Amino acid sequence: MDKNKPIEPDAPEKWEVQLRKGSLELAILAALWDGRLYGLEILRHLETASELIVTEGTIYPLLNRLKALGLVTSEWVESTSGHPRKYYELTPAGRQRALEMTQIWTKFSTSMSDLLAPLQKENQ
Amino acid sequence: MTLSPDSTKTMDAYLTTLRKRLRQLNESEVNEIVQEIHSHILDKASQQGVPTRATIDAAITALGTPEELAGSYVTNAVLQRAQATPSPLLILRALFRWAGLSVAGFVTFIVSVTGYCVGASLLLCAVLKPFFPQKVGLWFNTDSTDPDSFRLHLGFTPTAGVGHEYLGGWIIPIGLVLGAIFLFLTYRFGQWSIRKFWRPQVRYAD
């Protein structure tokens, strides 16, 4: 193999997927910040508020994991539609985690914005 | 809300397959998962009114296959359990599952298998030495056709007495202690690696 051959840079879409992947956990915790929601509501929230469109099946194993980590709790609630729904709610540890992640996110995005300011001007 | 049996046919089949594929988990967990997915399909299918066969089928398609969905749950559960289990066998099983998903999983699996093999070999040598004193040990052999080459050989050697044996009876305490240390460190390495590097798989809609 030619060692001097430049490595192909990732396509921007691929990079975007990685970026979204890393922020999904925070997005779910943030969606639950104002109160309990069930799976489909969380999905809708992610779609409208953050454009984080995951395969629908993905969200449930992930919620299950957040529950196992003690970041959310769940409760079955009877609904008017005739079947019960499983609602998720942040635990104190989940709220703490969301706040810590937000702090890191804000710090990082502020410094990135400063760095990207000249490029943003170019894009306009 | 009552649904015709025809409109729920696909959903019933989906949930049956899902349940079958989740059988590694305990029953209450499986029931809860199946009930939640059932609830999701009905909610999603009734977004525009009464659910029909077409809206139910669309909701199922958006979920991904039951095999994929069950696979995510089982992988999560197996790797989660592995972080707390005292059983090296359970850890190896979890690592085997993880090995197919990421480079970190593959490397951890290979290192762990090697570590367990070395540890088990040392223990086996220590245990078998009293029964086969002439055959089991750490051997230093030189090849008669190539005087510069040599090899270290741990375990049974077919050419007993040809090479030089290191350690002698000391292989018993050294094998026991080193073997136990190897097994323990490999076990802890597996747990540490899962905790540090494993993240659940997330699939994105196209």
Q: Does B80 sit within 8 Å of A60, measured CB to CB?
A: no
Q: Which helix (H) or strand (E) holds B19?
A: helix B9-21
Contact present, B165 and B155 (Cβ < 8 Å): no
Max Cα distance, chain A (Å): 65
The pLDDT assigned to A115 comes to 92
Best of A41, A46, A64, A74 to mutate (most B CBs within 10 Å, chain B)? A64
Rounded Cα gap, residues A77 and A86, in angstroms: 6
Residue A70 contacts B, CB cutoff 8 Å: no
Q: Which residues of B touch A58 (CB under 8 A)?
A: 64, 72, 201-204
Residues 6+ apart with CB under 8 A from A62: A24, A25, A28, B200, B202
* Ranges of residues in chain A whose predicted pLDDT is under 70: 1-10, 51-53
Residue A39 contacts B, CB cutoff 8 Å: yes
Best of A25, A74, A83 to mutate (most B CBs within 10 Å, chain B)? A83
The pLDDT assigned to B206 comes to 46
Q: Which residues of A touch B33 (CB under 8 A)?
A: 60, 64
B36, B63, B80 ranked by CB distance to A56: nearest: B63
Question: CA nearest B65 in A: which residue?
Answer: A57
Residue B52 distance to chain A (closest CA, Å): 15
Q: What is the pLDDT along chain B (206 residues), one digit of tens a residue?
A: 556 666 788 899 999 999 999 998 889 999 999 999 999 999 999 887 888 888 899 999 989 899 989 988 988 888 888 877 778 888 888 888 888 878 888 999 999 999 999 998 888 888 887 887 777 777 666 555 655 555 556 666 555 455 666 777 787 888 899 999 999 999 999 888 888 887 766 655 54
The pLDDT assigned to B171 comes to 79
Contact present, B90 and B81 (Cβ < 8 Å): yes
Residue B31 contacts A, CB cutoff 8 Å: no
Of the candidates B159, B203, B165, the one whose C-alpha atom is nearest the C-alpha of residue B65 is: B203
Geometric angle at alpha carbon A24, from A19 and A29, rounded to 5°: 145
The pLDDT assigned to A91 comes to 96
As given in the structure block, the two tokens for residue B199 are 């993240």
Best of A37, A48, A51, A56 to mutate (most B CBs within 10 Å, chain B)? A56
Rounded Cα gap, residues A37 and A89, in angstroms: 7
Where helices occur in B64-102 by DSSP H, the ranges are 66-82, 88-99
Query: Does the structure's ipTM exceed the value 0.85?
Result: no
Rounded Cα gap, residues B15 and B64, in angstroms: 12
B38, B46, B202 ranked by CB distance to A81: nearest: B46
Give the B window 38-57 contacts with A, CB below 8 Å.
38-40, 42-44, 46
Residue A44 contacts B, CB cutoff 8 Å: no
Q: Does A17 sit within 8 Å of B204, measured CB to CB?
A: yes
The pLDDT assigned to A1 comes to 47
As given in the structure block, the two tokens for residue A88 are 């998720």
